[in-house]
């Protein structure tokens, strides 16, 4: 499994391959709304693991074993039956707080986003939450979010088996330290630099002198993503599958 | 006989009522939504179980909604919900922001006839800070274990679209069990269906396992393709081209008005 040169691999594929590595060994991975790259990653991990982890894609009939309505996902998570989940944010800050609601004052916002979805619950109870944001700028990665849809950390007496473990962007991968409530630069994607990451990040983070380069997906992973995962994404993410993998929608 | 014409079936949905509707993959009554806009329903308190999409955007844009309680409103892969976004920024609609399991919990409390349901998460979020109706208590079975209580939510009417109903008013909902929770929680339930089932759904145990008893139903209307342009899972896909056209038009108030003229106020020929 030799690595391929980065120019033959799209950013979406690099991110999916990296996320698949982060969730290796999970028993059950769930993917929420508007999360096509995490969906690709989870399906890739399942293919690599010959059917493990179990994958539940929100909104899918085929990639879901749920039969008890929308609540089953949350009931599973509450019991610890979901090991990994993915969240994004219009804003994400250096303490791992995420904002899916608004910019400016909540009662008179300057901009409004769809809403918090399941974040204000799943962020607390799923052990490995991986944050993802494809726009890595000072506009999105901010010192302090305007609205906390879900906090990165909680007071000691709050039931909190879950929380963030990583943040992946179009430029780099950060790891999150829950005790210190801080991100550390884990790797920089091919074609990007540490200086560029610093310039475009609105919060402080830790870093070693030289951060490694994020490994590109293997040829085998790229083949699985393009040949096996892409068709499976068509049901829930037809637009993404068409744009990234050239899948054609059937009439 | 509870099978009625669409407009007759929608009569329980009156101005100012608390109306519960499902997420976009579970059977959204879109033909019924267009009929409500044509009728000019006003001041709805729309409750999404637990998220909303095109349906809420249309109702908000058409001025039918005073309050929306939801975990999110979006058009999914096709982007933000434009009239929802514009209405919130303009202060034209009040949002009671929730998180998905809080809405499931509120309906579950109502279906059990209990006043509230406890829920993990939420503590330390601004969602909780803006929901004075949600309360934090100390777990009475533990010590120093704060937990949120979500009050029961009993809608006046639940409205959804399903594949089948029989003449006794039993409705087949299949895997989308939150539709049963909605119906159990609501005072009255109105359903549109693709077609009438010839016989009684409870005579076949395979169908009965996915059925909702007519006991809960106020009225049923047969509306083929009634979820269009959204999907009816296992039956037809969303009309992505139509929704993309909508997203483009609804970016402006004038474009939205043109969409309403073309697709809501004029009945479609086919």
Q: What CATH number does the domain containing A236 carry?
A: 3.40.1080.10
Asked whether the predicted pLDDT for residue B270 surpasses 90, the reply is no
> What confidence score (pLDDT) does residue A250 get?
60
Asked whether the predicted pLDDT for residue B18 surpasses 80, the reply is yes
Contact yes or no for B257/B247 (Cβ under 8 A):
no
Q: Nearest C-alpha of chain A: how many angstroms from B181?
A: 9
What does the pLDDT average to over B57-85?
97
Residues whose CB falls within 8 Å of the CB of residue A198, separated by 6 or more in sequence, listed in order: none
Structural domain tally of chain A? 1
Q: Read off the pLDDT band of B214 (50, 70, 90).
A: very high
Across the interface, which of A74, A100, A149 has its CB nearest the CB of B104?
A74
Distance, CA of A158 to CA of B151 (rounded, Å): 21
Distance, CA of A117 to CA of A99 (rounded, Å): 11
Q: Nearest C-alpha of chain A: how many angstroms from B48?
A: 11
> What confidence score (pLDDT) does residue B266 get?
74
Residues B176, A69: C-beta atoms closer than 8 Å: yes
Q: How far are the Cα atoms of B21, B92, B95, B132, B151 from residue B68, in angstroms, in the given order? A: 11, 11, 5, 16, 17
> What confidence score (pLDDT) does residue A7 get?
56
Q: Is residue A45 part of a domain?
A: yes
Q: Which residues, listed in sequence order, are joined to residue B18 by a DSSP beta bridge?
A: B45
A vs B, Cβ pairs < 8 A, gives 149
Q: Is residue A195 part of a domain?
A: yes
Residues A61, B97: C-beta atoms closer than 8 Å: no
DSSP single-letter state for residue A7: G
Residues whose CB falls within 8 Å of the CB of residue A27, separated by 6 or more in sequence, listed in order: A52, A53, A54, A83
What does the pLDDT average to over B37-63?
98
Q: Is residue A146 part of a domain?
A: no
Structure tokens at B139: 């777990």
Q: Is residue A149 part of a domain?
A: no
> What confidence score (pLDDT) does residue B3 get?
86
Q: How far are the Cα atoms of A28, A131, A173, B60 from residue A212, in angstroms, in the given order? A: 29, 20, 10, 49
Q: Is residue A215 part of a domain?
A: yes
> What confidence score (pLDDT) does residue B117 get?
98
Q: Nearest C-alpha of chain A: how many angstroms from B86?
A: 8
Q: B123, B31, B28: which is closest to B73 by C-alpha?
A: B28
Q: Is residue A30 part of a domain?
A: yes
- State whether residue A111 sits within 8 Å of chain B by CB: yes
Q: Read off the pLDDT band of B82 (50, 70, 90).
A: very high
> What confidence score (pLDDT) does residue A219 get?
96
pLDDT in tens, B119-136: 999 999 999 999 999 999
- Containing domain of residue A164, as a range? 6-86+118-137+154-245
| Prediction pTM value | 0.96
Residues whose CB falls within 8 Å of the CB of residue B159, separated by 6 or more in sequence, listed in order: B10, B13, B19, B20, B21, B29, B32, B189, B190, B191
**H helix runs in B92-149, sequence order:** 100-112, 126-129
> What confidence score (pLDDT) does residue B269 get?
41
Residues B127, A120: C-beta atoms closer than 8 Å: yes
Q: Which of B23, B47, B79, B99 to mutate to test the interface with A (most CBs of A within 10 A)?
A: B99
Compute φ and ψ for B164, nearest 5 degrees: -140, 150
Q: Is residue A148 part of a domain?
A: no
Considering only the top CATH level, what class is B6-98+154-265?
Answer: alpha beta
H/E element, B197: strand B188-197
Structure tokens at A121: 């619950």
**Inter-axis angle of helices B253-260 and B54-61, to 10 degrees?**
100
A50 three-state secondary structure: coil
pLDDT in tens, B133-150: 999 999 999 999 999 999
Across the interface, which of B74, B95, B145 has its CB nearest the CB of A157?
B145
Residues whose CB falls within 8 Å of the CB of residue B81, separated by 6 or more in sequence, listed in order: A114, B52, B53, B54, B56, B57, B73, B74, B75
Residues A61, B234: C-beta atoms closer than 8 Å: yes
Pairing of strands B135-138, B146-151: antiparallel
Structure tokens at A93: 């800050």
> What confidence score (pLDDT) does residue B114 get?
98
Distance, CA of A75 to CA of A73 (rounded, Å): 6
- % of chain B with per-residue pLDDT over 70: 98
Residues B97, A101: C-beta atoms closer than 8 Å: yes
Q: Is residue A193 part of a domain?
A: yes
Q: How far are the Cα atoms of A4, A37, A197, A245 from residue A191, in angstroms, in the given order? A: 14, 20, 12, 21
Pairing of strands A172-177, A182-188: antiparallel
> What confidence score (pLDDT) does residue A149 get?
98
For residue A226, cis peptide bond before it (omega within 30 degrees of 0): no
Contact yes or no for B73/B52 (Cβ under 8 A):
yes
10-residue stretch averages of pLDDT, chain A, 251 residues long = 62 98 96 96 97 95 94 98 98 98 97 98 98 98 98 97 98 96 97 97 93 96 97 95 88 42
B171 three-state secondary structure: strand
pLDDT in tens, B228-260: 999 999 999 999 999 999 999 999 999 999 999
> What confidence score (pLDDT) does residue A208 get?
85
**H helix runs in chain B, sequence order:** 6-9, 30-39, 54-61, 82-90, 100-112, 126-129, 178-185, 205-208, 240-249, 253-260
Residues whose CB falls within 8 Å of the CB of residue B38, separated by 6 or more in sequence, listed in order: B264, B265
Report ipTM for this prediction.
Answer: 0.96
Q: Which residues, listed in sequence order, are joined to residue B112 by a DSSP beta bridge?
A: none
């Amino acid at each position: 499994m030799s690595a391929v040169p980065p120019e033959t691999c799209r950013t979406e594929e690099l991110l999916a391959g990296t996320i698949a590595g982060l969730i290796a060994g999970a028993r059950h991975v769930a993917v929420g709304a508007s999360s096509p790259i995490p969906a690709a990653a989870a399906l890739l991990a399942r293919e690599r693991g010959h059917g493990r982890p179990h994958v539940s894609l929100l909104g899918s009939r085929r990639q879901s074993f749920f039969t008890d309505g929308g609540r089953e996902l949350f009931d599973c998570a509450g019991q610890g039956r979901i090991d990994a989940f993915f969240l994004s944010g219009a804003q994400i800050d250096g303490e791992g707080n995420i904002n899916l609601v608004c910019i400016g004052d909540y009662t008179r916002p300057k901009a409004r986003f769809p809403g918090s979805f399941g974040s204000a619950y799943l962020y607390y109870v799923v052990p490995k939450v991986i944050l993802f944001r494809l726009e890595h700028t000072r506009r999105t990665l901010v010192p302090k979010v305007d609205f906390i849809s879900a906090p990165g950390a909680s007071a000691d007496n709050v039931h909190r088996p879950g929380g963030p473990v990583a943040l992946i962007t179009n430029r780099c991968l950060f790891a999150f330290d829950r005790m210190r409530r801080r991100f550390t630069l884990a790797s920089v994607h091919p074609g990007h630099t540490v200086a560029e990451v610093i310039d475009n990040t609105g919060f402080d983070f830790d870093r070693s002198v030289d951060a490694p380069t994020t490994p590109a997906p293997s040829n085998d992973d790229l083949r699985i993503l393009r040949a096996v995962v892409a068709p499976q994404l068509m049901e829930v993410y037809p637009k993404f599958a068409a744009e990234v993998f050239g899948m054609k929608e059937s009439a | 006989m509870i099978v009625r014409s669409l407009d007759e079936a929608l009569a329980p949905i009156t101005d100012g009522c608390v109306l519960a509707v499902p997420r976009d993959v579970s059977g959204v009554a879109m033909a019924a939504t267009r009929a409500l806009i044509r009728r000019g329903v006003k001041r709805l308190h729309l409750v999404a179980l637990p998220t909303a999409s095109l349906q809420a955007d249309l109702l908000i844009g058409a001025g039918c909604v005073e309050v929306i309680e939801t975990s999110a409103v979006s058009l999914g892969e096709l982007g933000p919900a434009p009239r929802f976004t514009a209405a919130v920024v303009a202060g034209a609609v009040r949002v009671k922001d929730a998180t998905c399991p809080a809405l499931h919990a509120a309906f579950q409390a109502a279906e059990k006839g209990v006043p509230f349901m406890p829920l993990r998460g939420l503590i330390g979020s601004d969602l909780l800070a803006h929901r004075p109706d949600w309360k934090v208590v100390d777990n009475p079975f533990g010590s120093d274990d704060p937990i949120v209580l979500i009050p029961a939510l009993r809608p006046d009417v639940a409205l959804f679209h399903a594949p089948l109903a029989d003449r006794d008013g039993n409705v087949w909902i299949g895997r989308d069990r939150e539709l049963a929770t909605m119906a159990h929680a609501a005072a009255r339930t109105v359903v549109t269906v693709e077609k009438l089932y010839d016989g009684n759904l409870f005579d076949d145990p395979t169908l009965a396992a996915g059925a909702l008893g007519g006991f809960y139903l106020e009225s049923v209307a047969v509306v083929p393709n009634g979820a269009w342009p959204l999907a009816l899972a296992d039956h037809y896909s969303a009309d992505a081209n139509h929704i993309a056209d909508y997203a483009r038009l609804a970016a402006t108030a004038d474009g939205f008005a043109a969409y309403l003229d073309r697709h809501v106020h004029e009945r479609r020929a086919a």
